Amino acid sequence: MIEISIDYAGQLHCNATHGPSGDTLETDAPVDNNGRGEAFSPTDLVATALGTCMATVMGIAAQRKKISLEGMKLTVRKHMSEDTPRRISKLEVEVEMPIGQEHPEKKILQSVVLGCPVHHSLHPEIEVPITWRWKTVAEELTLF
């Protein structure tokens, strides 16, 4: 069990503290929902959790296979529903890989992404399309 303490600071701001590490983060309501958008919104944290979870599980698999994924980038685009209740309707994920698409462990890396705990925790109605961008031969040549 991990404990996260949340203090409501007023004006739609919260401060959260991660029990084990003491790290903190702030949230604010988004501009389109009565806030000022001065920090991550709670639903932004869901999108962040998905992207960082996907990167982490790929990192774990890559370590086991002795593959360097340094330079990997993930972008998550959060879409909110236009109807009620207000909710996340889609989390588009773009994965920019520092290895080529012909890499022998490509399928393993792609499959672990779908098994990340956050992905499994999302409501099944939330769409999660994933776009993969693999390093090309031309990019590999310009790096050296």
Give tens-digit pLDDT for 21-55. 999 999 999 999 999 999 999 999 999 999 999 99
Is the domain of 65 the same as that of 99?
A: yes
Domain residues for 12? 1-40
H/E stretch holding 70 reads none
Is the domain of 71 the same as that of 98?
A: yes
Position 141 scores a pLDDT of 54
Position 137 scores a pLDDT of 65
Q: Does pLDDT of 140 surpass 60?
A: no
H/E stretch holding 119 reads helix 117-121
Q: Please give the full DSSP string across 44-68, using - where no structure is assigned.
A: HHHHHHHHHHHHHHHHHHHHHHT--
Position 138 scores a pLDDT of 62
Position 34 scores a pLDDT of 95
Position 3 scores a pLDDT of 98
Is the domain of 51 the same as that of 108?
A: yes
In terms of C-beta density within 10 A (0-12 exposed, 13-18 middle, 19 or more buried), how is residue 71 classed? Answer: exposed
* pLDDT (tens digit per residue) in 89-127: 999 999 999 999 999 999 999 999 999 999 999 999 999
Q: How far is CA 15 from the centre of its chain?
A: 20
Is the domain of 71 the same as that of 31?
A: no
Taking the C-alpha atoms of residue 98 and residue 64, their distance in angstroms, rounded to an integer, is 17
Is the domain of 21 the same as that of 51?
A: no
Is the domain of 30 the same as that of 47?
A: no
| CATH number, position 103 | 3.30.300.20
Is the domain of 13 the same as that of 71?
A: no
Burial 10-38 (b: 16+ CB within 10 A, else e): eebbbebeeeeeeeeeebbbbeeeebeee
Q: Does pLDDT of 144 surpass 70?
A: no
H/E stretch holding 96 reads strand 88-100
Q: How many domains is the chain built from?
A: 2
Position 136 scores a pLDDT of 85
Q: Is the dihedral of CA 115, 46, 51, 24 positive or negative?
A: negative
